[in-house]
């Protein structure tokens, strides 16, 4: 039950943080949803650091990993919103912003997971 509560608290906190970032960074005039992009990229970096610390001499407990990685990062990042926003970009014919958003999300996200894990080595 404790583990479920940790994931619940972390996930709720991460979801609220993502909502606030998207509220302030997404705009109707920009083709790229910068709020979701920022949350996903920042979340990738955070999970790299968190899991890197967890692997390094067991610096983080299993409960801390559940709260921070599974909960917070899981609630903070979002594949479903990413997929929906890409659908809307394609539907509107905005192929350039679709390509930029998708490539930036994947490439920068992967690089920041690796960077986060490398930094804590």
- Return the DSSP state at 32: S
What pLDDT was estimated at residue 28?
75
What pLDDT was estimated at residue 72?
97
What pLDDT was estimated at residue 54?
92
What pLDDT was estimated at residue 117?
94
Would you kindly state where each structural domain of the chain is located, as residue ranges? 2-119
Question: Which stretches within 26-94 are classed as H helix?
Answer: 34-55, 62-65, 74-76, 79-91
Mean of the pLDDT values across residues 6-25?
96
Q: What does the alpha-carbon distance between residue 67 and residue 83 come to, in Å, rounded to a whole number?
A: 25
Q: What does the alpha-carbon distance between residue 35 and residue 27 come to, in Å, rounded to a whole number?
A: 9
Q: To the nearest whole number, what is the mean pLDDT of the chain?
A: 94
Is residue 75 a contact partner of residue 14, using CB atoms and an 8 Å limit? Answer: yes
Q: Is the pLDDT of residue 90 over 90?
A: yes
Taking Cα atoms as reference points, which of 113, 116, 114 lies closest to residue 44? 113
pTM attached to this predicted model: 0.88
What pLDDT was estimated at residue 121?
85
Taking Cα atoms as reference points, which of 111, 7, 118 lies closest to residue 52? 118
What would the pLDDT profile of 19-37 be if each residue is shown by its tens digit?
Answer: 999 999 987 777 899 999 9
What percent of the chain clears pLDDT 70, i.e. is strictly above it?
100
């Amino acid at each position: 039950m404790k583990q479920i509560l940790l994931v619940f608290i972390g996930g709720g906190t991460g979801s609220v943080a993502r909502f606030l970032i998207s509220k302030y960074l997404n705009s109707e005039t920009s083709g790229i949803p910068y709020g979701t992009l920022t949350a996903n990229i920042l979340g990738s970096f955070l999970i790299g650091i968190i899991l890197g610390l967890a692997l390094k001499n067991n610096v983080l407990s299993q409960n801390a990993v559940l709260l921070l990685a599974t909960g917070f990062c899981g609630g903070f990042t979002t594949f479903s919103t990413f997929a929906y926003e890409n659908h809307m970009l394609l539907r509107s014919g905005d192929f350039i912003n679709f390509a930029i958003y998708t490539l930036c999300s994947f490439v920068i996200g992967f690089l920041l997971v690796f960077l986060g894990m490398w930094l804590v080595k």
